[in-house]
Amino acid sequence: MKKFIYPLLFLILFLTGCTGADRASILFNKYPISEKNIYDYSTIFTVGKRVYYVVLIPKKVQSRYIYIQVIKKDNDYGRLGYNLIWTRDVRLKDEEINYYTDYLVLNQKGYYIMKVYSKDNPHKVLASAEFYVGN
């Protein structure tokens, strides 16, 4: 059994070790995001309450513009179950070149996906994260 576990563990560490450092990411929280609570992220929220988020961007975006989309995944819509709920164009400030933080309020319960694009390459997703809004 050990002969199987050690090579598998080595492959997992070897293949996934260096790929995550350059990726952008999104973290959600129920409270305004600060240095003290950035690791207390959540993916389940209440209808009508604020959903705070931070987009972490390790690589510099040349144009300094990002595009944020929130998509609701639901079979009630005729577009393969996806509905574009909210969008925003954001210009990154000098002090916020590597991150952007804000909040949004959603009044319908459901399963949501947030996607972030760079205006430099609007066809490639920089970051994507999923969350749920319920009772």
Domains of the chain: 20-134 (2.60.40.1930)
CA 134 to chain centre: 19
Answer yes or no: is pLDDT of 37 > 70: yes
* Pairwise CA distance, residues 134 & 45, whole Å: 6
pLDDT (mean) for 10-28: 64
Answer yes or no: is pLDDT of 33 > 60: yes
Q: How far is CA 17 from CA 12, 111, 125, in A?
A: 8, 30, 21
pLDDT (mean) for 115-130: 93
Q: Phi-psi region for residue 12, left (φ > 0), alpha (ψ -120 to 50) or beta?
A: alpha
Indicate the average pLDDT of the chain: 84
Rounded to a whole number of angstroms, the CA Rg of the chain reads 18
Q: With bands split at pLDDT 50, 70 and 90, how would you rate the model's confidence at 39?
A: confident
pLDDT of 101 reads: 94
Q: pTM here? A: 0.80
Closest by Cα among 24, 13, 15 to 124: 24
Answer yes or no: is pLDDT of 5 > 50: no
| Maximum alpha-carbon separation in the chain | 54
Is the distance from CB of 37 to CB of 53 less than 8 angstroms?
no
Q: Which two tokens stand for residue 13?
A: 């560490």
